[in-house]
A and B are shown apart, each in its own frame.
Chain A
Amino acid sequence: SQQGEEDPQALSIQEGENATMNCSYKTSINNLQWYRQNSGRGLVHLILIRSNEREKHSGRLRVTLDTSKKSSSLLITASRAADTASYFCATDNNQGGKLIFGQGTELSVKP
């Protein structure tokens, strides 16, 4: 079964609004990562947060991690039409280099 579960499955917002996506996982982790996938392309790494970190920023991205709740959130501020993509969380629970991905959130940003 999937380690990470994203919520919501789909999100539609207007340009300029913030987008928040959530990820829950089941077992203890070494780190949690977020990836983005444009339609018809491979996934691209966005940001990594380690298990001993609570918040991390990268440009318009803000990631939080709550290990007590086994959950993470990805916030994209001031969204743009170009942010339209699917976003996946992935967990590394230190099992020989494996990453387990969730099912993703499909984000649509309307101009």
Chain B
Amino acid sequence: DAGITQSPRHKVTETGTPVTLRCHQTENHRYMYWYRQDPGHGLRLIHYSYGVKDTDKGEVSDGYSVSRSKTEDFLLTLESATSSQTSVYFCAISDSRTVSGNTIYFGEGSWLTVV
């Protein structure tokens, strides 16, 4: 298994509160991603990073911000959580320098419930 740790794994929070999810990797991979998974929508890319302090938006970035101050850590912040952000959040990493192409390795997920 790729060395990816997500924390917290489960969280219940109230509407309007800030929430930060952390992804930590030990693989020294360049790319890191945050996806959310919802029934009927599959996995949707929220934000991704292609290096320290280099981030870009995915397809569902509204209401989310990210930061990457170190290669190994990628933080996802919900500034003011809403019920529509109740979801399972997956962190993923990849190293596109490999000849195998851009294979992504996933963490185990963080279950977030906004009440």
B residues apposed to A, CB below 8 Å: 30-31, 33, 35, 40-45, 48, 50, 56, 58-59, 90, 92, 94, 96, 100-109
For the complex, count residues of A whose C-beta is within 8 A of B. Answer: 25
Chain A residues near B59 (CB-CB < 8 A): 100
Does B56 contact A43, Cβ atoms closer than 8 Å? no
Given contacts A98-B58, A100-B45, A101-B35, contact A31 B105 (CB under 8 A): no
* Cα separation A50 to B101 with both chains bound (whole Å): 9
- The chain B residue with its CB closest to the CB of A2 is B42
* Cα separation A6 to B92 with both chains bound (whole Å): 21
Does B43 contact A44, Cβ atoms closer than 8 Å? no
Chain A residues near B42 (CB-CB < 8 A): 2, 88, 101-104
List the 9 closest A-B pairs by CB distance, nearest first.
A42-B106, A103-B42, A101-B43, A97-B31, A43-B106, A45-B103, A42-B108, A92-B102, A31-B101
